[in-house]
Amino acid sequence: MGSTSPLAQTLIQLIPPLVLAHPLALFPALAAIPHDFLPAGVALFVPLLCVLALLSACAHIVIVYLGWYLKVRTFEDVFAACAGERLGPYGLQVGRAFVMVATMGASVGWLGTLFGLLEPLARTYLPAGVLQARVFWVLAASVTMIPALVPSRTFRSLRRAPYVLATLLPIVAFIAIGRTVEIRKLMDEAAHKPELSARGLNAGSAGSGLTSLAMFFTPHLQSLSVHTTLQRNSRQQFFIPCFATTLALVLISLPFALVPYYLLPPASTGLAQLPPDDGWTNAARVLMAALVLGSTTSWLLRGRDCILTALDVDRGESIKAGRWVGLGMWVAVVAIAALGGIVADKVELLGVIATLAVGWLLPSLFFIITFHVRSPLSIIFPRDVPPPSLEEPRASPSNGHIRTVSLDNPATDVLLARKERQLQKRRLGRRLWQDMVVYVGILPVGCVTLVWSVGSFLSLW
């Protein structure tokens, strides 16, 4: 029987939240990434985007499988279960610290892109002064996040927002592609040679391009929380939304990135080189800003829930505490993003480092520790009831796993022990492809991108 909870969702209903879990603020910048791979350019960009997208979907599956195997619901709980032997009671707190740095640090960077999207509108339609300032636009746009971050019975309808916002992404892409083609056609007819824009022409590198692509395909901070809402009778097919979301993003991202690359001079985003007074382009800019705000809100909500869990407030006080926590996070993130400068850049890089660690490196290490370093968890015997054996002592839960049986010392009942070995062998066979993907794909991507991000934070390149 499936879950009757009103929050239980079908496989298709998981796709919009998974789309918003991606850092959509990086979507406009995809058009600039092929320039980072020159002289190979598109020949390197397209395979890398497809491979990283596939690895991202596989990382989704690995994280969800690991969480369900350990019977936990969040990344911080996975961290505590896998690192508890080393960190003891501090494992859960360290996991929460990773989540908070990732959500708030990355959110500073995402909100910082709002001014770049809305600046052409301000300079075209508004008088000079405060109305064209970065602080004004970041603050004004970010105000729309408050109803979602401050829990209230009045705004319960916002739970449907992901389904509306997810439909905006293809609309933005199609408008940008269409206007790019039309504007290039007008330029060719007028024999006008477009001038290079001064914006976004800083020398790129393959390392920054690879890291940006990896970040765009790093929604894993919310993998477990999203899949927790899946109906129980659909959990055997939980991988379908992961691959469907990734396929949709690839199909939208490739034309959005390649059309401006071939038709217009280099720019920081796919919208930066389009005219500031074009109505359709400005509509795409506004819709993209709404997507950035929606994606950033989902990240901040993840951080807010982490704090509320750590505070362990009573259920009756959760709404009141959530208001203060959400408002405090909003003030801190918006203040840093609005002011910008070196502080905002460093905070964003810290968020990038934590996000890449949560999405790529740490899940790979936890997967290896759980399935290749430690003995497997029992399938037949319950975890809280010792097996029918007087010779095998009950395992200690101090290492994060509650052990009741080990394959090295089977239970007295020979039939149960034989069945246990058969089930473990079958589980191992189903997990072989995950082992290969972790060792060959997810772990190397996490190591390379983290090294580059740490080097950028330390100003080494």
User: Residue 31 is part of a domain; what is its CATH number?
Assistant: 1.20.1740
123 belongs to a structural domain: yes
What is the rounded distance in angstroms from the CA atom of residue 299 to the CA atom of residue 221? Answer: 8
What is the rounded distance in angstroms from the CA atom of residue 211 to the CA atom of residue 451? Answer: 10
180 belongs to a structural domain: yes
- The arithmetic mean of pLDDT across residues 115-129, rounded, is 87
427 belongs to a structural domain: no
**Helices and strands counted in the chain (H then E):** 19, 0
- Pinpoint the alpha helices (H) of 312-382: 318-339, 341-356, 362-368
Structure confidence at residue 177 (pLDDT): 92
Structure confidence at residue 202 (pLDDT): 37
Structure confidence at residue 2 (pLDDT): 38
Structure confidence at residue 397 (pLDDT): 44
The least confident of 8-12, 175-179, 325-329 is 8-12
346 belongs to a structural domain: yes
**Confidence check: pLDDT of 220 > 50:** yes
3 state SS for 330-342: HHHHHHHHHHCHH
Range of the domain at 271: 12-373
**Confidence check: pLDDT of 392 > 50:** no
Listed in sequence order, the residues at least 6 apart from 168 whose beta carbon sits closer than 8 Å to its beta carbon are 287, 288, 290, 291
State the CB neighbour count (10 A cutoff) for residue 88: 12
450 belongs to a structural domain: no
Strand partners, 409: 406
**Confidence check: pLDDT of 310 > 70:** yes
The least confident of 189-193, 330-334, 394-398 is 394-398
457 belongs to a structural domain: no
Structure confidence at residue 319 (pLDDT): 77
Separation of first and last alpha carbons in the chain: 56
The rounded mean pLDDT for the chain is: 81
The least confident of 193-207, 382-396, 423-437 is 382-396
Task: Give the single-character DSSP code of 459.
Answer: T
388 belongs to a structural domain: no
Query: Are 446 and 364 contacting, i.e. CB atoms less than 8 angstroms apart?
Result: yes
What is the rounded distance in angstroms from the CA atom of residue 298 to the CA atom of residue 382? Answer: 36
- Looking at the structure of the chain, the number of domains it has is 1
**Confidence check: pLDDT of 151 > 60:** yes
- The arithmetic mean of pLDDT across residues 201-219, rounded, is 81
322 belongs to a structural domain: yes
Query: Are 26 and 412 contacting, i.e. CB atoms less than 8 angstroms apart?
Result: no
